[in-house]
A = this chain, B = another copy of it.
Amino acid sequence: MAPTAAPTKLQLVQSNSLPALVQVEIEQLILCGELAAGERINESDLAMRFGTSRGPVREALRGLEESRLVRSEKNRGVFVREVSVAEADEIYDVREALDQLIGQRLAERATPQQLCELDAILEEMDRATAVQDVNSYHALNLRFHDMLVDFAGNARLTESYRLLTKGLLLFRLRGLQDGGGFPVSNTEHKAVMAAIAARDGARAGRLLRQHAAASRARMHKAAASRTRK
């Protein structure tokens, strides 16, 4: 009998190759800000840190370059990408289109079980809002949108979306955290959820797109107030 639904830890470790492991590790380093945007990455240092040789590290960096988290200059090294406001704007343009699709598909396909999970997150976000816990809210917000795209049931859509939002995450790290308008954000989430629960695909799509647009506007506002200072 074949082991059907048993994701053993052993199997995961054995299936994932070392460069792949190193890649997610470096990705974490970048996303958590330990490797700052614009910074140059030293291959030898990373290799030492992970206890490998430079080969796997180079392979991992090549993968990260393809996912646009780093850029590489010949004979000079690879650098953590920095995304400008203009680039973030471009990303948002695409994201809005994808978010609309996500809302649409969610309304068609999301199971009641999944809707419950989403509602649970929303409640947690309300609690975080009440205590003004920005960090928790930010993390929950990320998880919420990740679940949304997952539950939309289109693997390629998930891929594209994740790639895009990683770039956005890199931008947010530069300081401006969503313009601070996070109580508003959650009311928008609830409106989207209502449309999904009502199985109104068109409305859900429209609302989720508007939510992304609002988020973009908050970013602009924060960026503007920042450059003014």
Q: Which A residues form the contact surface with B (CB < 8 A)?
A: 14-17, 19, 55, 58-60, 62-63, 65-68, 72-74, 87, 90-91, 93-94, 97-98, 100-101, 105, 154-157, 159-160, 163-164, 167
B59 with A90: CB separation less than 8 A: no
Residues of B within 8 A of A100 (CB): 97
Stoichiometry, copies per complex: 2
B72 with A157: CB separation less than 8 A: no
Roughly how many angstroms separate A60 CA and B152 CA in the complex, as a whole number? 32
Roughly how many angstroms separate A55 CA and B59 CA in the complex, as a whole number? 9
Q: Is the interface of A mostly helix, strand, loop or mixed?
A: helix
Question: Known: A63-B66, A101-B94. Contact between A164 and B154, CB under 8 A?
Answer: no
A163 with B160: CB separation less than 8 A: yes
Residues of B within 8 A of A157 (CB): 90, 93-94
Please, which residue of chain B has its CB at the minimum distance from the CB of A91? Answer: B156
Residues of B within 8 A of A97 (CB): 97-98, 100-101
Given contacts A14-B74, A19-B62, 20 further A-B contacts (CB under 8 A): A15-B73, A58-B59, A59-B59, A62-B63, A63-B63, A66-B66, A68-B159, A90-B154, A90-B157, A93-B105, A93-B154, A93-B157, A94-B154, A94-B157, A97-B98, A97-B100, A97-B101, A156-B164, A156-B167, A163-B163
Roughly how many angstroms separate A16 CA and B65 CA in the complex, as a whole number? 13
Q: How far is the CB of A98 from chain B (nearest CB, A)?
A: 6
Residues of B within 8 A of A94 (CB): 98, 101, 154, 156-157, 160
